[in-house]
Protein backbone atom coordinates (compact mmCIF):
# COMPACT_ATOMS: atom_id res chain seq x y z
CA UNK A 1 0.00 0.00 0.00
CA UNK A 2 1.25 3.51 -0.75
CA UNK A 3 -0.13 4.40 2.70
CA UNK A 4 1.92 1.73 4.47
CA UNK A 5 5.29 2.27 2.79
CA UNK A 6 8.78 1.16 3.76
CA UNK A 7 9.87 4.80 3.73
CA UNK A 8 8.28 8.21 3.28
CA UNK A 9 11.51 9.86 2.20
CA UNK A 10 12.71 7.73 -0.69
CA UNK A 11 10.97 6.12 -3.66
CA UNK A 12 10.00 2.65 -4.82
CA UNK A 13 12.19 1.39 -7.70
CA UNK A 14 9.14 -0.55 -8.91
CA UNK A 15 8.15 2.60 -10.80
CA UNK A 16 11.42 2.99 -12.70
CA UNK A 17 11.15 3.02 -16.48
CA UNK A 18 13.91 0.66 -17.52
CA UNK A 19 13.91 1.90 -21.14
CA UNK A 20 14.81 5.43 -19.95
CA UNK A 21 18.07 4.44 -18.22
CA UNK A 22 20.92 5.64 -20.51
CA UNK A 23 23.26 2.78 -19.55
CA UNK A 24 20.82 0.27 -21.08
CA UNK A 25 22.14 1.20 -24.52
CA UNK A 26 25.66 0.13 -23.53
CA UNK A 27 24.81 -3.40 -22.44
CA UNK A 28 26.28 -6.12 -24.62
CA UNK A 29 23.79 -7.71 -27.07
CA UNK A 30 23.30 -10.85 -24.97
CA UNK A 31 22.38 -8.89 -21.84
CA UNK A 32 20.19 -6.49 -23.83
CA UNK A 33 18.30 -9.49 -25.13
CA UNK A 34 17.75 -10.67 -21.55
CA UNK A 35 16.38 -7.26 -20.54
CA UNK A 36 13.97 -7.19 -23.49
CA UNK A 37 12.82 -10.70 -22.63
CA UNK A 38 12.06 -9.58 -19.08
CA UNK A 39 10.12 -6.60 -20.43
CA UNK A 40 8.06 -8.85 -22.68
CA UNK A 41 7.20 -11.15 -19.77
CA UNK A 42 6.09 -8.23 -17.62
CA UNK A 43 3.86 -6.73 -20.31
CA UNK A 44 1.81 -9.92 -20.39
CA UNK A 45 0.64 -9.07 -16.88
CA UNK A 46 -1.14 -6.00 -18.28
CA UNK A 47 -3.78 -8.30 -19.76
CA UNK A 48 -4.99 -9.40 -16.33
CA UNK A 49 -7.75 -7.10 -15.05
CA UNK A 50 -8.33 -9.03 -11.82
CA UNK A 51 -5.22 -8.47 -9.71
CA UNK A 52 -1.94 -6.59 -9.94
CA UNK A 53 1.10 -8.77 -9.24
CA UNK A 54 3.71 -6.23 -8.20
CA UNK A 55 6.08 -8.93 -6.93
CA UNK A 56 6.45 -10.41 -10.41
CA UNK A 57 6.93 -6.99 -11.98
CA UNK A 58 9.50 -5.96 -9.39
CA UNK A 59 11.41 -9.24 -9.70
CA UNK A 60 11.70 -8.74 -13.47
CA UNK A 61 12.74 -5.09 -13.10
CA UNK A 62 15.26 -5.94 -10.40
CA UNK A 63 16.85 -8.57 -12.65
CA UNK A 64 17.12 -6.01 -15.47
CA UNK A 65 18.47 -3.34 -13.13
CA UNK A 66 21.16 -5.65 -11.80
CA UNK A 67 22.34 -6.25 -15.37
CA UNK A 68 22.40 -2.52 -16.13
CA UNK A 69 24.15 -1.64 -12.87
CA UNK A 70 27.31 -3.32 -14.14
CA UNK A 71 27.69 -0.80 -16.99
CA UNK A 72 30.31 1.88 -16.42
CA UNK A 73 28.87 5.38 -16.22
CA UNK A 74 30.21 8.29 -18.23
CA UNK A 75 32.26 10.86 -16.24
CA UNK A 76 29.37 13.35 -16.27
CA UNK A 77 26.86 10.79 -15.06
CA UNK A 78 29.23 9.56 -12.40
CA UNK A 79 29.61 13.12 -11.13
CA UNK A 80 25.81 13.52 -11.12
CA UNK A 81 25.47 10.30 -9.12
CA UNK A 82 28.10 11.37 -6.59
CA UNK A 83 26.43 14.78 -6.18
CA UNK A 84 23.05 13.13 -5.55
CA UNK A 85 24.58 10.87 -2.88
CA UNK A 86 26.25 13.88 -1.27
CA UNK A 87 22.97 15.82 -1.10
CA UNK A 88 20.96 12.82 0.17
CA UNK A 89 23.56 12.23 2.86
CA UNK A 90 23.39 9.76 5.71
CA UNK A 91 19.65 9.23 5.25
CA UNK A 92 20.28 7.61 1.87
CA UNK A 93 23.14 5.50 3.26
CA UNK A 94 20.94 4.21 6.09
CA UNK A 95 18.01 3.46 3.80
CA UNK A 96 20.30 1.57 1.40
CA UNK A 97 21.71 -0.39 4.35
CA UNK A 98 18.19 -1.40 5.40
CA UNK A 99 17.40 -2.45 1.81
CA UNK A 100 20.54 -4.58 1.63
CA UNK A 101 19.83 -6.29 4.97
CA UNK A 102 16.13 -6.74 4.15
CA UNK A 103 17.00 -8.76 1.03
CA UNK A 104 18.15 -11.60 3.27
CA UNK A 105 15.84 -11.21 6.29
CA UNK A 106 12.07 -11.41 6.73
CA UNK A 107 10.19 -8.41 8.06
CA UNK A 108 9.51 -10.20 11.36
CA UNK A 109 13.14 -11.19 11.97
CA UNK A 110 14.20 -10.40 15.59
CA UNK A 111 17.12 -8.32 14.29
CA UNK A 112 14.83 -5.37 13.52
CA UNK A 113 13.83 -4.94 17.16
CA UNK A 114 17.10 -6.10 18.72
CA UNK A 115 18.69 -3.06 20.44
CA UNK A 116 22.17 -4.57 19.94
CA UNK A 117 21.55 -4.54 16.16
CA UNK A 118 20.09 -1.02 16.00
CA UNK A 119 21.33 1.51 13.50
CA UNK A 120 24.74 2.76 14.60
CA UNK A 121 25.50 -0.33 16.67
CA UNK A 122 28.78 -2.24 16.07
CA UNK A 123 26.73 -5.07 14.55
CA UNK A 124 24.95 -2.76 12.09
CA UNK A 125 28.22 -1.07 11.13
CA UNK A 126 29.77 -4.50 10.53
CA UNK A 127 26.91 -5.28 8.13
CA UNK A 128 27.45 -1.92 6.43
CA UNK A 129 30.95 -3.06 5.50
CA UNK A 130 29.98 -6.58 4.50
CA UNK A 131 27.08 -5.41 2.30
CA UNK A 132 28.88 -2.48 0.68
CA UNK A 133 28.17 -3.66 -2.88
CA UNK A 134 24.42 -4.08 -2.29
CA UNK A 135 24.27 -0.75 -0.46
CA UNK A 136 25.84 0.88 -3.50
CA UNK A 137 23.24 -0.81 -5.72
CA UNK A 138 20.34 0.55 -3.68
CA UNK A 139 21.85 4.04 -3.61
CA UNK A 140 22.06 3.85 -7.40
CA UNK A 141 18.39 2.84 -7.64
CA UNK A 142 17.38 5.95 -5.69
CA UNK A 143 19.48 8.13 -7.99
CA UNK A 144 17.62 6.67 -10.97
CA UNK A 145 14.29 7.38 -9.25
CA UNK A 146 15.39 10.96 -8.60
CA UNK A 147 16.50 11.39 -12.23
CA UNK A 148 13.25 10.06 -13.64
CA UNK A 149 11.12 12.15 -11.28
CA UNK A 150 13.06 15.22 -12.40
CA UNK A 151 12.48 14.29 -16.05
CA UNK A 152 8.75 13.70 -15.46
CA UNK A 153 8.36 17.08 -13.78
CA UNK A 154 10.28 18.84 -16.54
CA UNK A 155 8.14 17.16 -19.22
CA UNK A 156 4.96 18.11 -17.35
CA UNK A 157 5.92 21.76 -17.11
CA UNK A 158 7.05 21.84 -20.74
CA UNK A 159 3.65 20.45 -21.77
CA UNK A 160 1.95 23.43 -20.10
CA UNK A 161 1.04 22.08 -16.67
CA UNK A 162 1.37 24.74 -13.98
CA UNK A 163 1.96 22.28 -11.13
CA UNK A 164 3.08 19.12 -12.88
CA UNK A 165 3.79 16.25 -10.51
CA UNK A 166 1.99 16.37 -7.15
CA UNK A 167 3.52 13.88 -4.74
CA UNK A 168 1.59 12.17 -1.96
CA UNK A 169 2.83 11.99 1.63
CA UNK A 170 1.49 9.04 3.60
CA UNK A 171 0.47 9.54 7.21
CA UNK A 172 3.03 6.97 8.37
CA UNK A 173 5.08 3.89 7.53
CA UNK A 174 4.78 0.17 8.11
CA UNK A 175 5.83 -1.17 11.51
CA UNK A 176 8.48 -3.33 9.77
CA UNK A 177 9.68 -0.53 7.47
CA UNK A 178 13.01 1.11 6.86
CA UNK A 179 11.87 4.27 8.61
CA UNK A 180 10.75 2.25 11.64
CA UNK A 181 14.31 0.90 11.95
CA UNK A 182 16.40 3.90 10.93
CA UNK A 183 14.27 6.49 12.78
CA UNK A 184 13.55 4.40 15.87
CA UNK A 185 14.85 7.12 18.15
CA UNK A 186 12.12 9.58 17.16
CA UNK A 187 9.20 7.14 16.88
CA UNK A 188 6.89 6.04 19.70
CA UNK A 189 7.24 2.36 20.72
CA UNK A 190 4.36 0.03 21.54
CA UNK A 191 1.64 1.96 19.72
CA UNK A 192 0.35 2.39 16.19
CA UNK A 193 -1.65 5.05 14.37
CA UNK A 194 -5.29 4.60 13.44
CA UNK A 195 -8.69 6.27 13.44
CA UNK A 196 -11.72 6.17 15.72
CA UNK A 197 -15.00 4.73 14.39
CA UNK A 198 -16.23 6.97 11.54
CA UNK A 199 -17.97 6.99 8.14
CA UNK A 200 -15.18 4.97 6.53
CA UNK A 201 -15.18 2.17 9.06
CA UNK A 202 -17.69 1.94 11.87
CA UNK A 203 -15.35 -0.26 13.92
CA UNK A 204 -12.41 2.12 13.82
CA UNK A 205 -9.05 1.55 12.13
CA UNK A 206 -5.56 0.43 13.10
CA UNK A 207 -3.10 1.36 10.36
CA UNK A 208 -0.19 -0.51 12.02
CA UNK A 209 2.12 2.48 11.73
CA UNK A 210 4.43 3.87 14.44
CA UNK A 211 3.83 7.59 15.10
CA UNK A 212 6.41 10.30 15.59
CA UNK A 213 7.23 10.73 19.28
CA UNK A 214 6.37 14.43 19.80
CA UNK A 215 9.04 15.10 22.43
CA UNK A 216 11.86 13.16 20.78
CA UNK A 217 11.12 14.68 17.37
CA UNK A 218 11.32 18.18 18.89
CA UNK A 219 14.58 17.27 20.65
CA UNK A 220 15.99 16.23 17.25
CA UNK A 221 15.11 19.69 15.89
CA UNK A 222 12.56 18.04 13.58
CA UNK A 223 15.48 17.06 11.33
CA UNK A 224 13.99 13.73 10.11
CA UNK A 225 10.71 15.50 9.31
CA UNK A 226 12.47 18.32 7.43
CA UNK A 227 14.64 15.92 5.42
CA UNK A 228 11.62 13.84 4.46
CA UNK A 229 9.69 16.85 3.16
CA UNK A 230 12.70 18.27 1.29
CA UNK A 231 13.21 14.99 -0.58
CA UNK A 232 9.54 14.55 -1.48
CA UNK A 233 9.31 18.16 -2.72
CA UNK A 234 12.60 18.07 -4.65
CA UNK A 235 10.99 17.47 -8.06
CA UNK A 236 7.33 18.29 -7.58
CA UNK A 237 4.95 21.19 -8.02
CA UNK A 238 2.81 20.13 -5.09
CA UNK A 239 2.35 17.75 -2.22
CA UNK A 240 -0.85 16.15 -0.97
CA UNK A 241 -0.55 15.37 2.73
CA UNK A 242 -2.61 12.35 3.70
CA UNK A 243 -4.51 12.96 6.96
CA UNK A 244 -2.93 16.35 7.58
CA UNK A 245 -4.93 16.43 10.80
CA UNK A 246 -2.21 14.12 12.10
CA UNK A 247 0.06 17.16 12.35
CA UNK A 248 -2.29 18.35 15.09
CA UNK A 249 -3.27 15.09 16.78
CA UNK A 250 -3.17 11.38 15.99
CA UNK A 251 -5.28 8.48 17.19
CA UNK A 252 -2.83 6.18 19.02
CA UNK A 253 -3.79 2.53 19.44
CA UNK A 254 -1.80 0.71 22.17
CA UNK A 255 -0.40 -2.60 20.98
CA UNK A 256 -2.89 -5.46 21.49
CA UNK A 257 -5.92 -3.17 21.81
CA UNK A 258 -8.90 -2.43 19.59
CA UNK A 259 -8.93 0.84 17.57
CA UNK A 260 -11.98 1.88 19.60
CA UNK A 261 -9.78 1.81 22.72
CA UNK A 262 -7.32 4.36 21.35
CA UNK A 263 -6.82 8.00 22.30
CA UNK A 264 -5.73 11.24 20.64
CA UNK A 265 -2.18 12.45 21.25
CA UNK A 266 -1.35 16.03 20.33
CA UNK A 267 1.64 17.37 18.39
CA UNK A 268 3.20 20.81 18.16
CA UNK A 269 1.22 21.78 15.08
CA UNK A 270 2.79 25.25 14.92
CA UNK A 271 6.20 23.67 14.43
CA UNK A 272 5.10 20.93 12.02
CA UNK A 273 2.86 23.09 9.83
CA UNK A 274 5.50 25.82 9.88
CA UNK A 275 8.15 23.41 8.62
CA UNK A 276 5.77 22.06 5.96
CA UNK A 277 4.97 25.57 4.73
CA UNK A 278 8.64 26.57 4.72
CA UNK A 279 9.81 23.52 2.74
CA UNK A 280 6.95 23.96 0.24
CA UNK A 281 7.84 27.65 -0.15
CA UNK A 282 11.47 26.75 -0.83
CA UNK A 283 10.35 24.26 -3.49
CA UNK A 284 7.73 26.60 -4.98
CA UNK A 285 5.11 23.92 -4.37
CA UNK A 286 1.42 23.88 -3.50
CA UNK A 287 0.33 22.03 -0.35
CA UNK A 288 -2.98 20.12 -0.29
CA UNK A 289 -4.07 18.78 3.06
CA UNK A 290 -6.48 15.88 3.29
CA UNK A 291 -8.57 17.41 6.08
CA UNK A 292 -11.32 14.79 6.18
CA UNK A 293 -12.57 12.81 9.15
CA UNK A 294 -12.89 13.84 12.79
CA UNK A 295 -11.33 17.22 13.52
CA UNK A 296 -11.82 20.40 15.50
CA UNK A 297 -13.46 23.24 13.47
CA UNK A 298 -10.59 25.73 13.98
CA UNK A 299 -8.10 23.42 12.25
CA UNK A 300 -9.34 24.22 8.74
CA UNK A 301 -9.16 27.96 9.43
CA UNK A 302 -5.63 27.54 10.76
CA UNK A 303 -4.49 25.71 7.61
CA UNK A 304 -6.24 28.14 5.26
CA UNK A 305 -4.57 31.10 6.98
CA UNK A 306 -1.21 29.55 6.07
CA UNK A 307 -2.11 29.00 2.43
CA UNK A 308 -2.61 25.24 2.73
CA UNK A 309 -5.46 23.91 0.61
CA UNK A 310 -8.10 21.61 2.03
CA UNK A 311 -9.90 18.66 0.44
CA UNK A 312 -13.59 18.66 -0.42
CA UNK A 313 -15.27 15.41 -1.49
CA UNK A 314 -18.68 15.86 -3.16
CA UNK A 315 -20.45 13.17 -1.13
CA UNK A 316 -19.23 14.59 2.19
CA UNK A 317 -20.13 18.23 1.57
CA UNK A 318 -23.58 18.92 3.03
CA UNK A 319 -25.78 21.88 3.90
CA UNK A 320 -27.87 20.39 6.68
CA UNK A 321 -29.40 17.24 5.21
CA UNK A 322 -29.03 18.46 1.61
CA UNK A 323 -25.99 18.48 -0.70
CA UNK A 324 -23.92 21.64 -0.42
CA UNK A 325 -24.56 23.97 -3.40
CA UNK A 326 -21.37 24.26 -5.50
CA UNK A 327 -21.02 28.02 -4.95
CA UNK A 328 -20.65 27.40 -1.19
CA UNK A 329 -17.55 25.21 -1.55
CA UNK A 330 -14.25 26.47 -0.21
CA UNK A 331 -12.01 28.52 -2.47
CA UNK A 332 -8.81 27.10 -0.96
CA UNK A 333 -9.45 23.45 -1.70
CA UNK A 334 -8.93 20.55 -4.05
CA UNK A 335 -12.48 19.41 -4.79
CA UNK A 336 -13.30 16.04 -6.30
CA UNK A 337 -16.26 13.74 -6.71
CA UNK A 338 -14.67 10.82 -4.90
CA UNK A 339 -11.64 9.58 -3.02
CA UNK A 340 -9.57 6.39 -3.10
CA UNK A 341 -11.32 5.23 0.08
CA UNK A 342 -14.67 5.14 -1.74
CA UNK A 343 -15.64 3.15 -4.82
CA UNK A 344 -15.24 4.90 -8.15
CA UNK A 345 -18.33 6.97 -8.88
CA UNK A 346 -19.89 4.20 -11.00
CA UNK A 347 -19.61 1.83 -8.04
CA UNK A 348 -20.78 4.45 -5.55
CA UNK A 349 -23.91 5.19 -7.58
CA UNK A 350 -24.67 1.45 -7.54
CA UNK A 351 -24.11 1.21 -3.76
CA UNK A 352 -21.25 -1.26 -4.17
CA UNK A 353 -19.61 0.00 -0.97
CA UNK A 354 -22.63 -1.02 1.10
CA UNK A 355 -22.51 -4.55 -0.30
CA UNK A 356 -18.75 -4.84 0.21
CA UNK A 357 -18.75 -3.51 3.77
CA UNK A 358 -21.60 -5.84 4.66
CA UNK A 359 -19.73 -8.84 3.24
CA UNK A 360 -16.63 -7.86 5.22
CA UNK A 361 -18.53 -7.40 8.47
CA UNK A 362 -17.72 -3.70 8.73
CA UNK A 363 -21.28 -2.45 9.33
CA UNK A 364 -22.79 -1.84 12.75
CA UNK A 365 -26.35 -1.81 11.43
CA UNK A 366 -28.17 -3.77 8.74
CA UNK A 367 -27.22 -3.52 5.09
CA UNK A 368 -30.84 -2.67 4.34
CA UNK A 369 -30.72 0.40 6.59
CA UNK A 370 -27.39 1.47 5.08
CA UNK A 371 -28.76 1.08 1.54
CA UNK A 372 -31.92 3.03 2.32
CA UNK A 373 -29.86 5.90 3.68
CA UNK A 374 -27.48 5.76 0.72
CA UNK A 375 -30.30 5.78 -1.84
CA UNK A 376 -31.98 8.73 -0.10
CA UNK A 377 -28.71 10.65 -0.25
CA UNK A 378 -28.29 9.80 -3.93
CA UNK A 379 -31.78 11.00 -4.75
CA UNK A 380 -31.10 14.37 -3.12
CA UNK A 381 -27.96 14.70 -5.22
CA UNK A 382 -29.84 13.78 -8.41
CA UNK A 383 -32.47 16.39 -7.52
CA UNK A 384 -29.72 19.02 -7.27
CA UNK A 385 -28.38 17.98 -10.68
CA UNK A 386 -31.85 18.33 -12.21
CA UNK A 387 -32.37 21.72 -10.57
CA UNK A 388 -29.12 22.92 -12.11
CA UNK A 389 -30.09 21.61 -15.54
CA UNK A 390 -27.33 19.02 -15.53
CA UNK A 391 -29.79 16.12 -15.85
CA UNK A 392 -33.18 16.22 -17.63
CA UNK A 393 -36.21 16.64 -15.33
CA UNK A 394 -37.62 13.28 -14.27
CA UNK A 395 -34.76 11.40 -15.92
CA UNK A 396 -32.19 9.42 -13.91
CA UNK A 397 -29.81 9.38 -16.87
CA UNK A 398 -27.33 6.66 -17.78
CA UNK A 399 -24.40 5.85 -15.51
CA UNK A 400 -22.02 7.84 -17.71
CA UNK A 401 -24.40 10.81 -17.91
CA UNK A 402 -24.72 10.95 -14.14
CA UNK A 403 -20.96 10.77 -13.64
CA UNK A 404 -20.42 13.61 -16.11
CA UNK A 405 -23.22 15.64 -14.51
CA UNK A 406 -21.58 15.29 -11.08
CA UNK A 407 -18.28 16.54 -12.47
CA UNK A 408 -20.02 19.44 -14.23
CA UNK A 409 -21.59 20.37 -10.91
CA UNK A 410 -18.23 20.30 -9.18
CA UNK A 411 -16.72 22.46 -11.93
CA UNK A 412 -19.11 25.21 -10.78
CA UNK A 413 -17.37 25.47 -7.40
CA UNK A 414 -14.87 28.28 -6.68
CA UNK A 415 -12.25 25.73 -5.56
CA UNK A 416 -8.85 26.49 -7.05
CA UNK A 417 -8.16 22.83 -7.89
CA UNK A 418 -10.51 20.20 -9.32
CA UNK A 419 -9.65 16.52 -9.17
CA UNK A 420 -10.83 14.08 -11.84
CA UNK A 421 -10.16 10.43 -11.03
CA UNK A 422 -8.97 8.18 -13.82
CA UNK A 423 -11.31 5.43 -12.60
CA UNK A 424 -14.30 7.72 -13.21
CA UNK A 425 -13.08 8.51 -16.70
CA UNK A 426 -13.09 4.87 -17.83
CA UNK A 427 -16.03 3.41 -15.87
CA UNK A 428 -14.17 1.34 -13.27
CA UNK A 429 -16.41 0.27 -10.36
CA UNK A 430 -14.10 -1.47 -7.88
CA UNK A 431 -12.75 0.41 -4.88
CA UNK A 432 -8.98 0.64 -4.76
CA UNK A 433 -8.80 0.62 -0.96
CA UNK A 434 -11.28 -0.51 1.67
CA UNK A 435 -10.25 1.14 4.96
CA UNK A 436 -9.95 -1.11 7.98
CA UNK A 437 -9.15 -4.27 6.02
CA UNK A 438 -6.03 -6.34 5.33
CA UNK A 439 -4.96 -7.86 2.02
CA UNK A 440 -6.37 -11.18 3.27
CA UNK A 441 -9.83 -9.57 3.39
CA UNK A 442 -9.69 -7.35 0.30
CA UNK A 443 -7.07 -6.79 -2.46
CA UNK A 444 -6.26 -3.22 -1.41
CA UNK A 445 -4.04 -1.38 -3.91
CA UNK A 446 -3.97 -4.45 -6.17
CA UNK A 447 -6.95 -3.59 -8.39
CA UNK A 448 -5.85 -2.89 -11.98
CA UNK A 449 -7.58 -0.17 -13.99
CA UNK A 450 -10.49 -1.61 -15.99
CA UNK A 451 -13.47 -0.22 -17.88
CA UNK A 452 -17.18 -0.79 -17.29
CA UNK A 453 -16.96 -4.15 -19.08
CA UNK A 454 -14.13 -5.34 -16.83
CA UNK A 455 -11.50 -5.11 -19.57
CA UNK A 456 -8.04 -3.80 -18.62
CA UNK A 457 -7.31 -0.19 -19.60
CA UNK A 458 -3.73 0.80 -20.39
CA UNK A 459 -2.47 4.36 -20.09
CA UNK A 460 -1.32 4.19 -23.71
CA UNK A 461 -4.89 3.60 -24.87
CA UNK A 462 -6.50 6.59 -23.14
CA UNK A 463 -6.05 8.94 -26.07
CA UNK A 464 -8.55 6.87 -28.08
CA UNK A 465 -10.87 6.07 -25.15
CA UNK A 466 -14.27 7.61 -25.95
CA UNK A 467 -15.52 7.67 -22.35
CA UNK A 468 -12.26 9.18 -21.09
CA UNK A 469 -12.37 11.99 -23.63
CA UNK A 470 -16.07 12.61 -23.02
CA UNK A 471 -15.58 13.22 -19.29
CA UNK A 472 -12.61 15.53 -19.83
CA UNK A 473 -14.57 17.51 -22.43
CA UNK A 474 -17.52 17.80 -20.02
CA UNK A 475 -15.27 19.19 -17.27
CA UNK A 476 -13.49 21.60 -19.62
CA UNK A 477 -16.81 22.86 -21.03
CA UNK A 478 -18.20 23.39 -17.53
CA UNK A 479 -15.12 25.29 -16.39
CA UNK A 480 -15.30 27.65 -19.37
CA UNK A 481 -18.88 28.61 -18.55
Sign of the torsion formed by the C-alpha atoms of 327, 328, 331 and 337 = negative
CA distance 11 to 145: 7
Measured CA to CA in angstroms, residue 208 lies from 169, 184, 225, 278, 312 at distances of 17, 15, 20, 29, 26
Mind listing the pLDDT tens digit of every residue in the chain (481 residues)? 888 899 999 999 999 999 999 999 999 999 999 999 999 999 999 999 999 999 999 999 999 999 999 999 999 999 999 999 999 999 999 999 999 999 999 888 999 989 999 999 999 999 999 999 999 999 999 999 999 999 999 999 999 999 999 999 999 999 999 999 999 999 999 999 988 887 666 778 888 899 999 999 999 999 999 999 999 999 999 999 999 999 999 999 999 999 989 999 999 999 999 999 999 999 999 999 999 877 788 999 999 999 999 999 999 999 999 999 999 999 999 999 999 989 999 999 999 999 999 999 988 899 999 999 999 999 999 999 999 999 998 777 899 999 999 999 999 999 999 999 999 999 999 999 998 788 899 999 999 999 999 999 999 999 999 999 999 999 999 998 8
Closest-CA residue to 406 (of 332, 358, 475)? 475
Angle, in degrees to the nearest 10, between helices 122-130 and 75-102:
130
- Cross-sheet strand order for the sheet of 166-169: 166-169, 238-241, 286-289
Taking the C-alpha atoms of residue 301 and residue 307, their distance in angstroms, rounded to an integer, is 10
Q: How many distinct helices (H) and strands (E) make up the chain?
A: 16, 12
Q: Collapsing DSSP states into helix, strand and coil, what is residue 333? A: strand
For residues 405 and 390, the answer to whether their CB atoms sit within 8 Å is yes
Distance CA 169, CA 279 (A): 14
> HSE on the CB side for 15, CA within 13 Å?
12
Contact 9, 232 (CB under 8 A): yes
Helix, strand or coil, per DSSP, at residue 443: coil
**End-to-end CA gap in the chain:** 39
CA distance 426 to 462: 9
Q: Helices 132-158 and 122-130: crossing angle, nearest 10°?
A: 80
List Cβ neighbours of 195 (8 Å cut-off, separation of 6 or more).
Answer: 201, 204, 205, 207, 251, 259, 293, 294, 435
Residue 378 CA to its chain's centroid (Å): 28
DSSP state of 324: P
Amino acid sequence: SPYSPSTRRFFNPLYLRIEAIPELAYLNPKKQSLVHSLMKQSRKLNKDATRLDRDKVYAAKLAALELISGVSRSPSRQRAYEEYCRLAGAGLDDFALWCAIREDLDADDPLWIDPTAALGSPFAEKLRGELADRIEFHRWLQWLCDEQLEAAQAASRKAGMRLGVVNDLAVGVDLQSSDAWTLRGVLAPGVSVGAPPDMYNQLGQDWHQPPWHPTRLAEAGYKPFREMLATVLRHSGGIRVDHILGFFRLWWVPEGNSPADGAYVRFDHDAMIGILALEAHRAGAVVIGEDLGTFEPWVRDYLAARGILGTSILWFENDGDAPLPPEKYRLQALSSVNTHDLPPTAGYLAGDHVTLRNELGLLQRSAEDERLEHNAKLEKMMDLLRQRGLLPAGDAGSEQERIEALHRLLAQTPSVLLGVALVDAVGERRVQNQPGTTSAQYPNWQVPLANSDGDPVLIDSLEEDERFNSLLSAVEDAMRQ
